[in-house]
Amino acid sequence: MAATNLRDRLERIDAVRWRIPRAARPGMRVDGIVFGTEAMMDDLATGEALEQVANVACLPGIRGASLAMPDIHWGYGFCIGGVAATDPSQGGVISPGGVGYDINCGVRLLRSDLGEADVRPLLHDLAAALQANVPAGVGTPGRHHFAQRELRRLLEGGVPYLRALGFASDDDVACCEAYGRIDGAEADALSTRALERGADQCGTLGSGNHFVEVQVVDRVEDPLAAERFGVVEGQVCVLIHTGSRGLGYQVCDDALRALRGVPERYGIELPDRQLACAPVHSDEGRAYLGGMRAAANFAFCNRQLLTGLVRETFEGVFGRPWSALGLELVYDVAHNIAKVERHHVGGEAVEVCVHRKGATRAFPAGHPDVPARYRDVGQPVIVPGDMGRASWLLAGSEGAMRDAFGSSCHGAGRALSRKAALRAAKGRDVRAELAARGIEARAASRRGLDEEQPDAYKDVDDVVDVVHQADLSRKVARLKPLVVIKG
C-alpha cells in the first residue's frame, strides 16, 4: 500500500496525535500512532515513514501500538523516531531494524559554572582546541587502544569499568541511563571483526550527524527542574552526540546476516525484509540482545572518554581544573536501543522488549530508574536540534509511560536527505553563514557541514512543542549553539 494512501487513512485523535487504524493494512496487529502536527503529517504524505509505522505494527507480540515521534523520517526497517514494545510471553520478537546500525547512538549534556561572557572572548581558541583534541571523522582512531581482554571487560562493564580505571567519576556513573551499563551484555557474542573495529574507536566522535557542541542556555521554562538539573539562563553547557562507531555497525550487520531465513523458521511473515527478527527468547534473539547490549555499553564508554577530552580541553583554554569549572554531567541518554522493561498495557503490568530507534527514554518523576537527585522532577531528556538553531533539555512526564512506553523524541529529525542537503548547499558557504550567527563551526570536511546544515533538519522547537503538548516530556531549558565540532 502506498504511503500516500496511508496518509489518507490517518485518523486525527487530537491536535498532536494521529492514528493509522489497524484495518488500514492486512497483517497489522495493532494501530499505528504518530505524534505530530497536521503540517508534519502533510510532509510525510509522499515518503515511506508512515508505511514503516504500519509495517512495524505487523510484528509478532507487539503490544499497545506501533508508535512514531514527531521527528519521524525514513530509516532501515523501523522509521527514525519509531517505538515498539513486544511481549516475549506472546511470541514477541527482537528486530535489529528497531535499534539501527548505530547502536546506542545517544547524547550527554555537561553543565558548567561558566557564562557566555566568560566564553565568548575565547570562542575561536576553544573551537580550535576542541577540533585538535577530539578525534573526529571516518576511521579516525582515538587516544585509547584497548587490547582484546580490556575491550571485553569494557563491553560488559560499561562506564563503571572506566571508573575503576580512573576515567569516570562516581557522578558520571550516577547520571548515565542505566548507570552506563546494560546488564546481560555478552562480549563473546561479537565477531572478531566487530572487536577489531572497536579496538581504537572508543573515545572518537565519528562523522555524519555526530558532534560536540558548546552551547549557552537561552531560556529556562521550568525553574524547579532546571535547578535540579543544575542549569541556569546564560550558562555554558556542552552536548556530546555519538554512538558505538564501527563496532556497533558491525554488530548490526552481523546480526542481520545471522537472521536471514530465521523469521520463516519460526513461521513469521513480514511485510518488509528489513524487519528481520527472532523471538526474544529464542537462541537467535538472545544472541542479538547480548551483542547489542555490549555495543550499547561501548557507546556509553565512548561518550565518557570524549567527556574526558572535552574536560581536558576546557582546562587548557581556561587554565583551571575541570572540577573548578563545574563541568559536571547532567545526564546521558541512549537513542537507538532495545531494553526489557516493565510497563502497564491494558491495565496489567507486563515485561516487554521496548525498541527505541531515534527515540529516547523519558521516565517521569517517582520512577525508580530515575537517578535519586532527579526523582522529584523526572528524568532529563536531551533533544539536540541543528547546529544553527537550538537544542532542548526536557524532563520525562507521566504521559510518556501511559502513551509511549516511557519514550519521547530524540532530536529535530531530518527534513532533507544528505544528497538533497548537498544540492541545497551548492554555491553557499555554510561555515560563513553560521559565523554570521556567532557560531564557530569546525568539521573534518566542508561536505560534513553541508550535509548537516540547519535547513537539513526540522525546527526542533516545533518537534519539542509536540512532545510537550502530548505530555511525553515537558520543556525545561532551551540551549543555543556557540561552537560546533563535527566529523
- Give CA–CA dist 185/153, Å, rounded: 10
Distance of CA 308 to the CA centre of its chain: 20
Catalytic residue among 210, 241, 410, 468: 410
Residue 139: HSE in the Cβ half-sphere, 13 Å Cα cutoff: 0
Residue reference for cell 527468547 = 281
Q: Computed from CA positions of residues 81, 210, 106, 371, in that sequence, does the dihedral angle turn out positive or negative?
A: negative
Per the annotation, the verdict on 410 as an active-site residue is yes
- HSE (side-chain half, CA atoms, 13 Å) at 258: 20
What is the separation, in whole angstroms, between the first and last Cα of the chain? 38
Local structure of 139: helix, strand or coil: coil
The 10 Å CB-count burial string (b at 16+, else e) for 319-349 is: eeebeebebbbbbbbbbbbbbbbebeeeeee
Residue 486: which region, alpha, beta or left (left: phi > 0; alpha: psi -120 to 50)? beta
Could you give the 3-state DSSP secondary structure of residue 203?
A: coil
Q: Which three cell numbers stand for residue 264?
A: 520463516
Instruction: Name the residues annotated as catalytic.
Output: 410
